[in-house]
Structure 1
Amino acid sequence: MKTDSQLQHDVMAELEWDPSIHHADIGVSVTGGVVTLSGLVRSYAEKLEAEKAAYRVAGTKAIAEELKVRYPADAKTADSEIAKRIVDVLAWDALVPDDRIKVKVEQGWVTLTGTVDWYYQKEAARRAAGRITGVVGVTNLISLRQVPVASDVKERIMAAIKRSASDDAASVTVLTDGGKVTLGGRVKAWTERQIAERAAWAAPGVTSIVDNIVVA
């Protein structure tokens, strides 16, 4: 198992390796496998990429994200212009049912509301909003429409995990209660945990997930 100093070194190397991240202004500290990212980034999208980079490193158990967005010295984009750009981007995104989503922008912070059928649509809307220049953060309050839960949803989730993950998938447990899914067990890498989450969200009728999988 990696020491905290080894994990810190690996996360810093991963941030430096990713060309979409300006790593010079990002600090990394690690305590008990929990990675803290601090410092400055140039956009909300870069903030998300830094998080993803840290999660990619084996041994990362959790992330405390304290990054702040600092834009170049240009004049700040008006909230009305940011909102218009987001609405336009959502309209062009084939994954997003834009007619069901409302956008609010206040001092660069975006709040998304509405109702969609699938979790991937909710995430696609968040990603699209986060790419717009001037956005400093996104609160995603889009809800999932209640649909009947398939009787074999647990089996579908387990089958999807086994198709995508390694032998670690055998240790993942799935409990269902209506549209709520609780994941448990142990895996060796954070990517295995993410695979299990994606598989659960892809199941019909799932509206919430409690992820208790331990990375060890």
Structure 2
Amino acid sequence: MTDKELRQLVIDELEFEPSIDAADIGVAAEDGVVTLSGHVADYVQKTAAERAAWRVRGVRGIAQEIEVRLASDKKQNDDEIAQRALSILAWNTTIPSRDLRVQVSRGWVTLSGSVNWNFQRRAAENEVRKLGGVTGVTNNIKLPTEVQARDLKQRIQEALKRHAEIEAGAVHVDVRADGTVRIDGHVDNWSEMQAVERAVWSAPGVRVVEDNLIFH
């Protein structure tokens, strides 16, 4: 597939996705790496555009350069965004909100604190992303540091084997004592890569994932 063909496929996918106003999004492609530029009206559309681009066969990497430009009537004060973020985190019973802190600067939200599970870390970020006035999110929420590398590796390998969409034999897992997990090997598509990452993150004690998977 040529860069021109890949670029057009990404453009078509962005225009097909109903949650995105793609009129002001630019697309460039070079050697399988797609660059998304331009601007959208909210952070939800920015993340949706990246997900849409990943769905296109042939995309091997994405450079995300889309800006969030809020209309003047939708801009909110940072203290209002912070208060709403704290409220939405408190409403989600799966998130230990008392252990989290929220900082907002020009609409950009930084989350910090600690949780026991990665799904809680991701849930906190996903909840804040939904808020109007948010231009970006930095997730600095930490996970537990103590981990038994051998036990963690076994749990991850078992999780990979349970997933029907993953060819577990093609994925190699290495776990370090600090909770960093390196995954190598090959997958058939982006969906399988995402499934591998989800399986790895589902194991308790995983703090960092170094994804070195490659597509066939």
Q: Measure how far apart 1:7 and its partner are.
A: 1.9
Counterpart in 1 of 2:193?
193
Whole-Å separation in 2 of the counterparts to 1:9 and 1:105: 37
Structure 1, unaligned runs of 5 or more: none
**Is the alpha carbon distance of 1:167 and 1:72 closer, same or farther for their aligned partners in structure 2, counting shifts above 3 Å?**
closer
RMSD: 1.6
- 2:195 aligned partner, one-letter code: I
Which AA in structure 2 matches 1:47? Answer: K
User: Which residue of structure 2 aligns with residue 49 of structure 1?
Assistant: 48
| Whole-angstrom CA distance in 2 between matches of 1:33 and 1:168 | 23
CA drift at 1:62:
1.1
- Show CA shifts across 1:135-156 (max 9, x none): 1111111111224336433232
Q: Secondary structure at the match of 1:116?
A: coil
Q: Secondary structure at the match of 2:183?
A: strand
Does 2:196 align with 1:160?
A: no
Q: How does 1:64-213 map to 2 (within 5 A)?
A: 64-74=63-73, 76-149=75-148, 151-166=150-165, 168-178=167-177, 179-213=179-213
Q: Counterpart of 1:208 in structure 2: which amino acid?
A: V
Provide the TM-score with structure 2 as the length reference. 0.93
Indicate the SS of the match to 2:6: helix
**Runs of 4+ with deviation above 4 angstroms:** none
The Cα shift of 1:75 comes to: 5.5
Q: 1:22 to 1:120 in 2, by over 3 A?
A: same
Q: Alignment partner of 1:58: what SS?
A: coil
Letter aligned with residue 18 of structure 1:
E
- Residue identity (%): 46
CA separation in 1, counterparts of 2:146 and 2:117? 10
Q: Which consecutive unaligned segments of at least 5 residues does structure 2 have?
A: none
Q: 1:165 to 1:189 in 2, by over 3 A?
A: farther
- The range that moved more, 204-213 or 79-88, is 204-213
8 Å contact 2:149–2:175 — kept in the other structure? Answer: no
Matches of 1:57 and 1:85, distance apart in 2: 35
The residue number in structure 2 matching 1:34 is 33
The CA distance in 1 between the partners of 2:170 and 2:97, in whole Å, is 39
Aligned residues: 215
Secondary structure in structure 1 of the residue aligned to 2:66: strand
Letter in 2 for 1:174: V
SS of equivalent residue, structure 1 residue 143: coil
Distance 1:167 1:210, change over 3 A: closer
